[in-house]
Amino acid sequence: MNYNTEILTADSSSIRKAAELIKKGKVVGMPTETVYGLAANALDESAVSGIFAAKGRPQDNPLIVHISCIGMLDGLVTAVPETAVKCAEKFWPGPLTMILPKTDKIPMATSGGLDTVGIRMPSNKTARALIDACGLPLAAPSANLSGSPSPTSARHVYDDMNGRIPCILDDGRCAVGIESTVISFEGDSIRLLRPGFISVSDLKEVTENVIVDKGVLDIVSQDAVVASPGMKYKHYSPKADVIIIDGSLDSFRKYVSDNKVEGTWCMTFSESDLSGIDCPAVVYGSTDEEQARRIFNALRELDKHGAKKVFARCPGKTGIGLAVYNRLLRAAGFQVIRL
Ligand code: TXA
Ligand code: MG
């Protein structure tokens, strides 16, 4: 790992170049509609070990495998439950990952030692063209260093991966901004393991039986056996100490003016949230969709400003807001002040 990392505008020639690197077992930065990923041949154990090395990721945290058409599922999974077929029809290509029983073709390194694999068909055109150009399923976790906020631009990937990978395909800012919804299947129920842009109410259009896993909103202990290993790890953390303030705008303003110290920043919905209060803020938007698009950039901005303590306004907890809240909770190490 000592590359002169290139940022390449995603066009047909750079996609071909990236595909050649992947076919040789290398890891490249790949845009998707959710967040940027670190892509490698999902079927090649040594290529996959390159992903874990570049990210500094624990070996037991499994990778999502990306495909570009339904035909690619053949040979990767041993069964597709009826509910999963319906989800694929409704939400693919798009920001949904389904956990399915894997075949031996998927190495244990890819699945983190599990006998299941997460499969996703992205909608981003560059991602799909890259998978097609490789003719391979691509394993890709979010392209951040393990523990830092997910990257939503090629620049974010560069900031974390410079020197660690040969190139990044730049396709601008990610349209969704938070990682895919992750689900598994139990009989005809869907278990939500990680909330995302595909919301609980979207999933309920497929089946009424949607179970929200306890790990979505609760702290999971380090030695727990969990449905999704990613739940265990500290995530999305900026260097600052983030605290979620759950209450009205008035109570937020009062809390900030009573408690701010040197190095305090805020994460607000709009510029005017702090009018009259002398505290700097990074704005992350006022709708669920906008907050999803901007949350990870906001967390990275706070680090750039050298924020020490961050008071964050609490997102809504339903629809896509649940996904934003889930990410912010992890960034805050589950510190919430309810006013
Ligand atoms: O939107 C996304 O999903 C992005 C883009 C690049 O596609 N990828 C992504 O990957 O977020 P990653 O590795 O950062 O997060 C994958 C999550 C982890 O929490 C992991 O534990 C869980 O999915 N996961 C993967 N395979 C699993 C499996 N077989 N069983 C349970 N959970 C799994
Ligand atoms: Mg990640």
Lookup: tokens for 257: 């003016």
Cα angle 335-336-339, degrees, rounded to a multiple of 5: 150
Predicted confidence (pLDDT) per residue in 296-338, tens digit: 999 999 999 999 999 999 999 999 999 999 999 999 999 999 9
| Rounded Cα gap, residues 62 and 66, in angstroms | 13
CA 193 to ligand 1: nearest atom: 32
Q: Is 99 in the pocket of ligand 1 (CB under 6 A)?
A: yes
- What percentage of the chain exceeds 70 in pLDDT? 97
Q: Once rounded to an integer, what is the mean pLDDT over residues 205-218?
A: 95
Which range (32-46, 72-86, 99-113, 233-247) has the least confidence?
233-247
Helix (H, G, I), strand (E, B) or coil at 270: coil
Q: What is the pLDDT of residue 233?
A: 59
Q: What is the pLDDT of residue 274?
A: 95
Q: How many CB atoms lie within 10 A of CB 16?
A: 13
Instruction: Tell me the DSSP string of 204-262.
Output: HTT-S-EEE-GGGTS---TT---SSGGGGS--S--SSEEEEEES-HHHHHHHHHHH--T
Q: Is 62 in the pocket of ligand 1 (CB under 6 A)?
A: yes
Predicted confidence (pLDDT) per residue in 74-112, tens digit: 999 999 999 999 999 999 999 999 999 999 999 999 999
| Rounded Cα gap, residues 242 and 332, in angstroms | 5
Banded model confidence at residue 249, pLDDT cuts 50, 70, 90:
very high
Nearest CA to ligand 1 atom 10: 141
CA of 118 to the centre of ligand 1 (A): 7
Nearest CA to ligand 1 atom 15: 141
Predicted confidence (pLDDT) per residue in 158-187, tens digit: 999 999 999 999 999 999 999 999 999 999
Q: What is the pLDDT of residue 328?
A: 96
Q: Is 35 in the pocket of ligand 1 (CB under 6 A)?
A: yes
Terminal CA-to-CA distance of the chain, rounded, Å? 48
- What percentage of the chain exceeds 90 in pLDDT? 91
Q: Is 114 in the pocket of ligand 1 (CB under 6 A)?
A: yes
Question: What are the backbone dihedrals phi and psi of residue 158, each rounded to the nearest 5 degrees, phi first?
Answer: -60, -45
Contacting residues for 37 by C-beta, under 8 A, at least 6 apart:
29, 30, 31, 66, 127, 138, 140, 141, 142, 143
| Rounded Cα gap, residues 10 and 86, in angstroms | 32
